[in-house]
Amino acid sequence: MTEPVTAMKPDREWIIRCPRLGGEVPFSYCEREAGDLPCRQVVRCWEAGFPVERYLRETLAPEAWERFCGQVPKDRMTTILDVVGAARQRKK
């Protein structure tokens, strides 16, 4: 019997330089920086090290994942497309 494929499990003691705090922090801090949610920058900060988005999607409760996605800042292009879409809706 084979086990389901899951995201790579990070070592919670992995260290990264935090652009917000200006010092080093472990992944365990980033994973719970917002109380029961990860820091909203966690994907941007950790994606070069391991598939962090996939890991979070698989480990957070569905409700927590939804709340996390709701607080992640949109990237610039998504924001621009949203503005263009809103402007088109107003013209109609």
Pairing of strands 15-17, 24-26: antiparallel
Q: Are 47 and 8 in contact (CB under 8 A)?
A: no
Which stretch in 7-15, 28-36, 54-62, 71-79 sits in contact with ligand SF4 by CB under 6 A? 28-36
52 binds ligand SF4 (CB under 6 A): no
Angle (CA) 78-81-83 rounded to 5° is 110
- Report the nearest approach of ligand SF4 to the CB of residue 32 (Å): 10
Residues lying near ligand SF4 in the complex (CB under 6 A) = 16, 18-21, 25, 29-30, 33, 39, 41-42, 45
